[in-house]
Amino acid sequence: MAGLAPGYRFTEHLIQLGDIIFGQVDEAGVHWHCEKAEGWEGPETRMDLAQREADHGAWPSPAYLSERVITLSGKVFAPTRTACDEAFERLLAAAALTDTVLAVYETIPKQLVVRRSGKPLVQRLTGTVLEYSLLVTAADPRRYALEEQSGTTPLPSTTGGLVFPVTFPVSFSAVTVAGEIRAENTGTFETRPVLAVSGPVVAPTVFAQYDDGTVQRLAFSQALAAGDQLVIDTDAHSVILNGNASRRRFLSVPSGWPSVPARSVVRFQFRSDTYNPNALLTARWRSAWI
């Protein structure tokens, strides 16, 4: 394998953990091979079964996905002992104790956010060859698209229209802003957006309208001043003002937290009883796969 140029790929599907890209030759001439990514195919499922009395079968509880546990294993071939030592340290650092992106560059590249969840096993086979096994865990089991999508809308408004006195022939030039964001999830599992409301706005409300006509509502009872931003994380169920102050108690969630179902579109509508042209709603989301 000597003499392969940096960037040479051993596989179609590269894997990246932190700053290491497995499946190719790096700039130092180190060959990073990942032979297995066990756990990428799916997490465990949590479900209880209660046996039916005097009958066949069982009563199932709701089923949920557990955290996703992934083991990356393979070998590293370095051109020199010094490069091998550096690769050794990079392997230990890649499986970090803090949130780290694990990406697999499939036809549709996907990513997880993982942390180290076991002792890194790195063995020196020779002075220039390492064998490794890294155990990491994603608390959120969804595999997300690398590309984050977003949309922004002001409050709905209508401008233009007829101007009196009217001179015929009449020209209608009204322009309507719908106050709506179209969020599409092209994946196979529901995804949960992050919504940000920027002031000034009085008692903003966000409606999530689904393809079947169902509507969910998030209503904030307070006013936001100019420069304020309220971030609503529909996965964490958190409501944070200006990055540090919880305002969860002021948000009404009467019909549950909205999500974007698999292969569906949800329209997020921005409303307030008091119009202000500078008020904005921003939605951010990623398509998700099981």
> In the CATH scheme, what is the code of domain 15-145?
2.40.30.200
CA distance 64 to 78: 43
CA distance 171 to 149: 38
CA distance 131 to 182: 47
Instruction: Tell me the CATH architecture of domain 149-289.
Output: Sandwich (2.60)
**What are the DSSP E strand ranges found in 105-171?**
110-116, 121-124, 129-138, 143-145, 149-154, 157-159
CA distance 263 to 38: 26
The pTM is what? 0.87
Q: What is the pLDDT of residue 157?
A: 77
Is 15-145's fold the same as 149-289's?
no
For residue 105, which amino acid is it?
A: Y
**What are the DSSP E strand ranges found in 229-263?**
229-233, 238-241, 245-246, 251-252
Listed by start position, the domains of the chain span: 15-145, 149-289
CA distance 156 to 267: 14
User: Mean pLDDT of successive 10-residue segments in the chain (290 residues)?
Assistant: 80 94 96 97 95 96 97 97 98 96 97 97 97 98 98 80 51 57 98 98 98 96 98 98 97 97 98 95 97
Contact call for residues 103 and 111 (beta carbons, < 8 A): yes
